[in-house]
Amino acid sequence: MAKRLIAEFLGTAWLVLGGCGSAVLAATFPEVGIGLAGVSLAFGLTVLTMAYSIGHVSGCHLNPAVSVGLGAGGRFSASDLPGYIAAQVSGAIFGAGVLYAIASGTPDFSLAGGFASNGFGEHSPGGYSQGAAFVAEVAMTFAFLFVIMGATHGSAPKGFAPIAIGLCRTLIHLVSIPVTNTSVNPARSTGPALFVGGWALQQLWLFWVAPLIGGALGGVAYRLLSPDMPTPTEVSGN
């Protein structure tokens, strides 16, 4: 169990450092910034690279909503949830800390830019309402779990699950960055929010509640569609 938790810690740290780091450090870099498409791809790549690296160790959840969704879908033991969630949140905070140490190395750095935190209303990149943000997070996490469950199904093509899951994560960001800056992952939201404080912590509840609901619904929906278990070595996803 200890190795699985260490893998989840390191994998989630990489998710935050790579994904949020692309938004904080590279998205708006003068003239050659990677933009929203680049940030979306970066998040997908963090999932894909870690899925191939630690999928055989921990299942590469990297996300409390994924762990809860897999549990609801019959793919993960409820008794393992507390340890996984603690490792994921700790990893996200560590990853955000490393990112802060890097980003604060420039004289014009300021947390007022949001530090890749998730938000709604005036803190939504597109000014979307709390209701719209909630629906987006539930729907996107539902879709994410549905893809994870299908890609890791015992009858799915072997070895391709990380690609499908990473591309799904990229697509989710392409759609929802303007709405909430894209969470779909309570741990990913918690790390940056702890550094920003204020509004980011006040709005953090939505980025726990909505993804957990969406993840559970996605796991249950796929379980009803196709109840077969995945092969033991298949990656579970982020």
- Give residue-wise pLDDT tens across range 111-122: 999 999 999 999
State pTM to two decimals.
0.93
At 156, list the tokens: 């799915």
Give the model's pLDDT for residue 116.
97
3-state secondary structure of 192: helix
- The C-alpha atoms of residue 1 and residue 136 are separated, in whole angstroms, by 34
Q: For 84-108, how does the pLDDT look when each residue is reduced to its tens digit (9 = 90+)? A: 999 999 999 999 999 999 999 999 9
Q: Are residues 91 and 8 in contact, defined by beta-carbon separation less than 8 angstroms? A: yes
Give the model's pLDDT for residue 28.
84
Q: How many Cβ atoms are within 10 Å of 166's Cβ, its own excluded?
A: 24
CA 154 to chain centre: 24
Give the model's pLDDT for residue 238.
53
Give the model's pLDDT for residue 157.
85
Q: Is 218 exposed, middle or buried (0-12, 13-18, 19+ CB in 10 A)?
A: buried
- The C-alpha atoms of residue 166 and residue 45 are separated, in whole angstroms, by 6
- The C-alpha atoms of residue 25 and residue 126 are separated, in whole angstroms, by 20
- The C-alpha atoms of residue 176 and residue 87 are separated, in whole angstroms, by 26
State the pLDDT confidence band at 155, using cuts at 50, 70 and 90. confident
Sort residue 127 into left (φ over 0), alpha (ψ -120 to 50) or beta. left
Give the model's pLDDT for residue 234.
43
The one-letter amino acid code at 119 reads G
